[in-house]
Amino acid sequence: MTVLEIPLRWGDMDAYGHINNVQIVRLMEEARVIAFGIPSGTGTLDATTPTPYVNLLAGVGDSVMTLISEHTVKYRRQLPYRGLPVRVDIGIDKVKGASVEIFYAFYDGDDIAVNATSTMVFVSKDSGRPVRLSEQQRAEVAKLR
Amino acid sequence: MTVLEIPLRWGDMDAYGHINNVQIVRLMEEARVIAFGIPSGTGTLDATTPTPYVNLLAGVGDSVMTLISEHTVKYRRQLPYRGLPVRVDIGIDKVKGASVEIFYAFYDGDDIAVNATSTMVFVSKDSGRPVRLSEQQRAEVAKLR
Amino acid sequence: MTVLEIPLRWGDMDAYGHINNVQIVRLMEEARVIAFGIPSGTGTLDATTPTPYVNLLAGVGDSVMTLISEHTVKYRRQLPYRGLPVRVDIGIDKVKGASVEIFYAFYDGDDIAVNATSTMVFVSKDSGRPVRLSEQQRAEVAKLR
Amino acid sequence: MTVLEIPLRWGDMDAYGHINNVQIVRLMEEARVIAFGIPSGTGTLDATTPTPYVNLLAGVGDSVMTLISEHTVKYRRQLPYRGLPVRVDIGIDKVKGASVEIFYAFYDGDDIAVNATSTMVFVSKDSGRPVRLSEQQRAEVAKLR
């Protein structure tokens, strides 16, 4: 597990004046990118791009897409906007053949506001079929344990 | 169950060129609003505002918030952007004391692209405690059966 | 000029409970797509994709990007969310060598809420240089006059 | 003028794989919030909320809204997503009776990608009329010079 501090944006609030439930899922996306790397084949990566501690995209070519096959999100309490980053704990629960199961906890102070999980899969752009995790990827995941 | 045709926006695509998984959750929000009404206490409702067939917000005052306590989303296939609305089937699975369980299916042609569920709860703005569904709300839900 | 009715989303509201100024710019994007076609090289177009009356992307290949070089937006009054589509008048002011100047008016009832303009340019993906409008594109624009 | 480093999100990219022009306007919003404070009457401010160096909302009550009356945005070059924050220079050009004129420059390395301006106005929630800047607000702006 790793602990992130992700900046909220004022625009993450909705008409109820709290962080919108959809934007929580946007922040889950951002937490994955910060913790595990930029989805393969996207962005303009160069020498300045930081390498995440757990680089789940290590050695994954541009012909492979990093997709989501499942989310579960439990909203335990409203997450207020205080002009501060949100603490997000993120880790990996399970590694399967071609996917990983990710968990998240969002905090407001000492209270958990949201618990969530995602399944991330690696898929060939050409065939649309799952691509098994490499040894290199498995070695990266092992850093988290 | 009711069948909606919800316009996609070009901006719902991400860097992979398909509808982004987070935007699916945004579209779930929009499907709820179209099918069940505008969350209590938000928007500028007047005589021109359409009343949904199943008006889950019927008789719910502005002191009650309409919140989400849980989502599950299963992405079965990528949802492409074709410049057309997306078909979303939406219905209610269960009614509990202070919440309803909603289900969704998103289609691309005849194929289901996404299955999802949400739990919607009614909560007092002042006390933060759940508010039980009224008889009027239960009567509205009964229309769906 | 053509008149569009673009569905608003509940999520277009911000913490002030009205349509957010940034979402107006999102709706300008959507108005362009509806009125003038899907930006070249994006989306999954097929026989079901509607052809806009003024097809500014007619004959434009996937090697050309449709970019924005300038926006001006004047917010004249707050745009409320009433659960209804917003009326957007959109047209083309000027055609230059490699760009077109677009104007918009957003209405709330009979009142103009927003006036805006955009400059849309056609740019080669490879060279990054502007690409002149073709005769076919000029013929399409002429439909608007 | 002050210099900000604002985190981009992966989701700020569009189907062209660069930062979307609408998201630039979202980032202008975020730059204003960081540089000049949280729009009056929104968010859940407490002792942990940081006070910006130039606190344009100092002494502004919850009965006053902080609105945008105008944006101009010039996109000079595409802004790529490199997994790094974007540098945004932001300052105030002019102070008028009830409004301030803000300017921005977005950088990609040493190159300016975007130049923009916004007019921010203070408006009474009840009457909808402009509210003049206080001495306290003018003193805050003076810090920038």
Which of D16, D67, D71 is the closest to C65 by Cβ? Answer: D16
- With a pLDDT cut of 90, the percent of chain D lying above it is 97
Reported as a pLDDT band with limits 50, 70 and 90, residue A64 is very high
Chain A residues touching residue D49 (CB < 8 angstroms)? 82-84
Residue D145 has pLDDT above 80, yes or no: no
Write the residue in C13, C17, C49 that is nearest to B84 by C-beta. Answer: C49
Structure-token pair, residue C126: 């490879």
Q: What is the pLDDT of residues B93-144, one digit of tens each?
A: 999 999 999 999 999 999 999 999 999 999 999 999 999 999 999 999 999 8
pLDDT reading at C145 higher than 80: no
Residues in chain D closer than 8 A to C67 (CB atoms): 16, 21, 75, 78
The amino acid present at A36, given as its one-letter code, is F
- Please report where in the chains the tokens 């055609």 appear, as a residue: C95
Q: Which residue has the tokens 């108005």?
A: C31
Numbered residues of chain C with Cβ closer than 8 Å to any chain D Cβ:
15-16, 21-22, 25-26, 29, 39, 41-43, 65, 67-75, 78
Q: Quick one: pLDDT band at residue A95, thresholds 50, 70, 90?
A: very high
Residue found under tokens 């929009």:
B30
What pLDDT band is residue D144 in, cutting at 50, 70 and 90? confident
Average pLDDT, chain B: 96
- Report the mean per-residue pLDDT for chain C: 96
pLDDT digits (tens, 9 = 90+) for C64-110: 999 999 999 999 999 999 999 999 999 999 999 999 999 999 999 99
Domain annotation for chain A: domains and CATH numbers: 2-142 (3.10.129.10)
Q: What confidence tier does A144 reach under pLDDT thresholds 50, 70, 90? A: confident
Cβ-based interface (< 8 Å): residues of C facing A: 10-11, 13-15, 17, 20, 22, 81
Residue B144: predicted pLDDT: 87
CA distance D15 to B80: 11
- CB < 8 Å to C48, chain B: 82, 84
Half-sphere exposure of D119 (CA within 13 A, CB side): 16
Put simply, the answer to whether A71 touches B70 (Cβ < 8 Å) is no
Q: How many CB atoms lie within 10 A of CB C129?
A: 9
Determine the Cα–Cα distance for residues B58 and B140; give it in Å rounded to an integer: 8
So what's the ipTM on this one? 0.97
Whether residue B83 and residue C45 make contact (CB cut-off 8 A), yes or no, is yes
Strand, coil or helix: what is B89?
A: strand
pLDDT of res. A109: 95
Copy the structure tokens of residue A61.
């070519």
User: How many whole angstroms separate alpha carbon C65 and alpha carbon D118?
Assistant: 27
Q: Hunting for tokens 């002429």 — which residue is that?
A: C142
Closest partner CB to A49 (pick from D11, D45, D84): D84
Q: What is the pLDDT of residues C22-41, one digit of tens each?
A: 999 999 999 999 999 999 99
Helix/strand/coil for D90? strand
Report the b/e string of C109-121 with b at 16+ CB within 10 A.
Answer: eeeebbbbbbbbb
At residue B145, the pLDDT reads 73
**Tens digits of residue pLDDT in B43-80:** 999 999 999 989 999 999 999 999 999 999 999 999 99
pLDDT reported for residue B34: 98
